[in-house]
Amino acid sequence: MAYLNFSVRFYIFERSPNLERMSSETENEKAYIRKLETELEQLRKQSKELDSFSSIASHDLKEPLRKIMLFSKLVIDAEKEKVSETSARYLERIAVSADRLQHLIDDLIAYSRTGTEKIKFTKTNLNQIVAAAKSELKESIKAKNVEITADELPTIHALKSQMTQLFTNLLSNSIKYSKADEISQIHISCEKATADSLSKLNTQPEMTYYKIAISDNGIGFPNEFSEVIFEPFKRLHGKDDYAGTGIGLAICKKIVENHNGFIAAESEPGKGTVFSVFLPDQETKN
C-alpha cells in the first residue's frame, strides 16, 4: 500500500507541469472566447447603428432634398417669365445639384445595405435578370443607340434583387462610358472556368466558376486602375464630364462577394472595357 501511495504521488508530481499547462491553455481559451464575444457584441451594435443611419438617410436627408427639387422646379416653371435668365440658370443648377445629392444618398444606402441584407438564395435565371436590367435602362439604351447581345446564361443560386442590381450597374457603366462617334456595342458572354485555371485569384479548390464577361467598345481607361475602380468614390473622370456617384462598381464588388465570387476588370483607353464576374457553380461544390 505504501508503494502504491508513493507511485500515485510520483505520477501526480510528474504530471503536474502538464496539468498546469493544460489549465493555463484552458484559461487562455476562455479569455479568447470572451474577447470574441465582446467583439461580436460590438459588431452587432455597429450593425444596428448602420441600420439606424440608413433609416435616417432614407427619410430625414432625402425629404429636404425632394422639397428643394420640387420648389426649384415650381419657381422655374411658374415664374419663368418674371425671373432673369441668370436667375433661371442658378435655379436649374440648384435642382441639378440636389438631384445629384439624392442619387448619392440612394447609392450610399444601397452600398451600406448590400452586406447586411439577409441572404436567401433561390434559383435565378440570369437571362431573365439581364432582360430586367435592359428594361430598367431602356431609355439610356435608346438615347445612346446601344446594341446589347448576350450568350445563353446559366441558372444559379443567388439573391435575385442583388443580381438585378449587379447587371444593371455594369450595363449602365458601359452605356455611360460609350463613345459619342461610334455605335455602342455591349456583349455578355459566359463560360466555365476551374479554380486551377484561376490560380491568381481567390478561388475555392475544386470549384467550377461561371465566368460572365460584359465587354464593351467604349472609351476604356488605363488598366493600372483596374482594381481601384471598385473602391467607393473612385472616379477616373470628373463629375461634370460623366454623371455618377462613384459607388456603382463598389456595390457590384460587394454583391459578387456576397455570392462567394469575385469580379475583375480589364481595359485600354479607346478600346473598351471587359468586366469579368466569377460566380461559383453550386453543383460542383463539395
For 256-268, the DSSP string reads HHHTT-EEEEEEE
Q: In sequence order, what are the residues at sequence separation of 6 or more whose Cβ sits closer than 8 angstroms to the Cβ of residue 207?
A: 194, 195, 280, 281, 284, 285
Q: Domain check: are 12 and 59 in the same one?
A: yes
pLDDT number for residue 172: 92
Residue 19 C-beta-side C-alpha neighbours within 13 Å: 6
Q: Domain check: are 166 and 279 in the same one?
A: yes
Q: In sequence order, what are the residues at sequence separation of 6 or more whose Cβ sits closer than 8 angstroms to the Cβ of residue 246?
A: 232, 233, 234, 235
pLDDT number for residue 15: 57
CB atoms within 10 A of CB 234: 14
CB atoms within 10 A of CB 194: 15
- Residue 67 belongs to what domain range? 1-116
Q: Domain check: are 194 and 174 in the same one?
A: yes
Distance CA 97, CA 91 (A): 10
Q: Domain check: are 107 and 206 in the same one?
A: no
Chain Cα centroid distance, residue 100: 20
pLDDT number for residue 4: 46
pTM of the entire predicted model: 0.64
Grid look-up 419657381 returns: 75
Tens-level pLDDT at each residue, the chain (286 residues): 554 454 545 555 555 666 566 666 677 777 778 777 777 777 766 656 666 656 665 666 677 777 887 887 787 777 767 777 787 778 787 877 777 677 667 766 666 666 555 667 889 999 999 999 998 898 889 888 899 999 999 999 998 888 998 999 999 999 998 888 888 999 999 998 876 666 555 556 667 899 999 999 988 888 988 888 888 777 666 565 556 567 788 889 988 998 889 999 999 998 899 999 999 987 655 4
pLDDT number for residue 101: 75
- Total domains, the chain: 2
Could you tell me which residues are beta bridge partners of residue 265?
275
Q: Domain check: are 50 and 141 in the same one?
A: no
Q: With beta carbons less than 8 A apart as the criterion, state whether 213 and 274 touch.
A: yes
Q: Domain check: are 260 and 143 in the same one?
A: yes
State the CATH number of the domain containing residue 11: 1.10.287
Q: Domain check: are 130 and 112 in the same one?
A: no
Q: Domain check: are 104 and 59 in the same one?
A: yes
Q: Which three cell numbers stand for residue 277?
A: 464576374
Q: With beta carbons less than 8 A apart as the criterion, state whether 53 and 111 touch.
A: no
